[in-house]
Structure formats: C-alpha cells, structure tokens
Amino acid sequence: MSDLRVLFVAHNHPTLHPGGAEAYALELYEAMRETPGVEPLLLARIGTNVARRRVAHPGTPFSAVNGDPGQYFLFTETEHFDFFTLTSRDKALYTRHLTDFLLAHRPDVVHLQHTHFIGVDLLSQIRRVLPDASIVYTLHEFLPICHRDGQMVRTFDDDLCPEASPRRCNECFPELSPQAFFLRERFVKGHFANVDRFLAPSAQLMEKYLRWGIEEERIEVEEYGRLTPPERAGDPKQMRSPTNIGFFGQLSRFKGAEVMLDAMAQLDSDCDAHLWLNGANLELQTEEFQAEFAERSEELRDRITFRGPYDHDELPRLMEDLHWVIVPSIWWENSPLVIQEAFFHRRPIICSDVGGMAEKIRDGVDGIHFRAGDAWSLARTIERATSSAPLWNELRAGIEEPYAMDEHVGRLLDLYSETIDSRKAVVVGA
C-alpha cells in the first residue's frame, strides 16, 4: 500500500511571520514527515504583506522552501484578496495554479489550516479536481463568521459577540448592508459545503460554528498537538514570593494589552508584582496604539519590563525567571498555544474567564480566572497570586502535560481514513 499523501495548506509560513496557527502547521507537517506511511506536503501562503520580494519566479506562484521537497510557498497578491467575502479576485489562482498543484501531487487528504489570503473558493476547486480526496479544515478563529478580523467582538463597545447574523453584523458595520452580510455567509458556507470534517481546537469555538450552521456530524473538537520541547525551563531562582508574571504573544488590543497595563497601574503599592512583556508584532498595530503603549510602559517602568520579540527556542530561558504566565485576551480566543507552552514549562496561568482560556485553564487547579476586560479584577487577582507561595505551589502541582503531538497525529490519521472511507462510499454510491 502506498503512502498516505496529506497536503497541509496554511495562510503563512512561521519563518516569515510568527504566529500560533502557522507555527502549529509547520510542527504538524514535521511530525507527519517523521510518521511512517505518511507523505506530507506543506503549502504556505506568502505575500507582499509579509515578504520583501513579490514573486519568486515569473509565471508561477509556487517556490521551494529551503530545498525541502515537501514544502512550498504560495505567493498571492494581498490586494487580490477580498477580505469581506474571503475570496481571491484572481480566479486563475484556483483554476490554473492550484489546479496544477493539486493534480501534480494528488493528495489523498487536503488538510487546510487556513484559507486566508487564498480564498474559500479553493475548497470547491479541490472537490472538483480531486473528487475522492478528503477535505479537513482546522478552524483557528472566527473569520468565516465574523468580519471584524474573526474576533467576534462588537465594533462599538468591544463586547463579546455570541452569534453573528446579517442584522447584528450590520450593527457592527453600518456601511455594509445586512444583505451584503447574508451574501458573505452564503458564499462562505457554499464553499464550506465541500469540507468533510472541521476540527475545532476548543469546544467553545465548535459551539459557535454549530450555532452558525455547521452540521454536528461535520465538526469535532481536536486540540492542537504539540511537540514536547527539548528543554524545559528550570525553577525560578527566587521562590520566596511568586511575583514575576510573563506575557507572550502579540501585543494588541484584542490580546488584552490595555487591560494588562491598566491593571499594573492599579496595583497596591505594597504589591511586588512585575510584568515581563515578551511581545511580537507591535509594529503591526496602529501608530496610535504603539504611541500609547510606549507612553504607558514608560510610566510603569518600575513594574513592567519590555523584552520585545522572541524565538520559540528561547522560551525555556525566558520562562525561567517567571512564576506566572498571563493570558488577558478580550476576545474569545480559540485554544491559545501559549497555554500549552506555559504548561510544558509548568507555569500556572492568570487568564480571562471567557472562551478558550476559561475552557483550557481550570480556575483554582492550574490557574486563576479574572473577569475578562476588567482591569480592577485583574489587579486584585495579581495581588492575590503574587503574594502567596502556597497558592502558586498548589496550582503548579495541578498542571497536566499538554496534548502530545504523536497522540494528535494518531488521531488525525484515524480521522483521515474515516473521511476517506466515507468519501469512497459516497463516490461508489453515486
């Protein structure tokens, strides 16, 4: 029996632009490459918004990645992407280039990590070109549901949004008619109809897609599997009081940057908490946000240390001085990878009490919840957490090892063969 050919499609390559979903896509590809009987391919989109050069080669959007025969860049023009309808205006991308690519590799499974900058039309084109291929789609956020960067946070008051509808979406974007949102939804769902199985890394994310209309039998929860880090962070040198808190990830509004700064400003004067910001992509935020951030962190320089962008390999060293990791997002999140990182290095987490954070971190077991978006609640939580060594030790003991990549790969392979079998049944039955 020949190897199972699995094509992974990602909206970005982590070597060009750091990000959770793309880092996971590469890890998964690498893990599959090590798995006997599997022949994986990774197709990662690049474009002018992340790459310096435009097209690698004239006449094709494809180019090789570091000489690896299993990895390709797919170049698409950012300006060709319709961010509202989630489609590329350049239809030749599907009908010519991606068709050629699919026919050249004939994957048994196409596992999409994202269709952003590529377009949902790809799903229909895969089905047309490869009628037998099974199509699996991992959902990383709410872009198909929500036009506000897939965050499901209302535009006018930053309230969490539980459910999209043409009427509600028009409330967030008065310049776009309810009919336009209706067409958007129908368009995305029209292409989504070709997907055999959706994977939701968190139950709360799955619940929102179920409410949006994905059928129960086409979606399941499957957490991100992670490779065990080769090296774990040691114990903090200072064990007397757990005062050091670390933030990892994008410093943006949705990630709770403002709530965090507000809370640090509101701490009791006798609280010794200190926040270490390990943040990437500040340069992608608005100038206004960057200026405000600079000013605020200057005011709080006794309480906050900004360490800037970091490499994944540096995590053990960066975690070493820390007692806590904080995840203060004001949106639902999916299953934030930083939670798994913190747990690998056995750091309990202070997090917002909503969405993926509330689901993945157990309040009082391996972390502490505070009221999402509420700086006062966060300040009191930090005061409590940083003043109690016994609490820290107890929560630390409650941490369980994150979902392992090899287990995840095993589950995915089962799922691929399930979907391939049911697809065969459909094709034979037709």
Question: Residues in the site for another protein, rule: CB under 8 A?
Answer: 87, 90-92, 94-96, 121, 124-125, 128, 165-167, 177-179, 181-183, 186-187, 190-191, 193
Shortest Å distance, C-beta 96 to another protein: 8
Shortest Å distance, C-beta 65 to another protein: 27
Shortest Å distance, C-beta 187 to another protein: 6
Contact predicate 71/64, CB 8 Å: yes
Please give the radius of gyration of the chain, using alpha carbons only, rounded to the nearest integer.
22
* Residue 38 or 135 having the CB closest to another protein: 135
**Euclidean distance between CA atoms 193 and 59, whole angstroms:** 31
Shortest Å distance, C-beta 141 to another protein: 23
**Euclidean distance between CA atoms 326 and 343, whole angstroms:** 12
* Residue 185 or 222 having the CB closest to another protein: 185
Shortest Å distance, C-beta 211 to another protein: 15
Shortest Å distance, C-beta 85 to another protein: 8
* Residue 192 or 344 having the CB closest to another protein: 192
Shortest Å distance, C-beta 256 to another protein: 34
* Residue 87 or 138 having the CB closest to another protein: 87
* Residue 54 or 89 having the CB closest to another protein: 89
b/e code 217-256 from CB counts within 10 Å (16+ = b): ebbeebbbbbbebeeebeebeeeeebbbbbbbbbbbbbbb
* Residue 91 or 312 having the CB closest to another protein: 91
Shortest Å distance, C-beta 244 to another protein: 51
Shortest Å distance, C-beta 186 to another protein: 6
* Residue 191 or 274 having the CB closest to another protein: 191
Shortest Å distance, C-beta 132 to another protein: 18
* Residue 163 or 231 having the CB closest to another protein: 163
* Residue 85 or 266 having the CB closest to another protein: 85
* Residue 87 or 250 having the CB closest to another protein: 87
Whose CA is closest to 389, among 263, 232, 238?
238
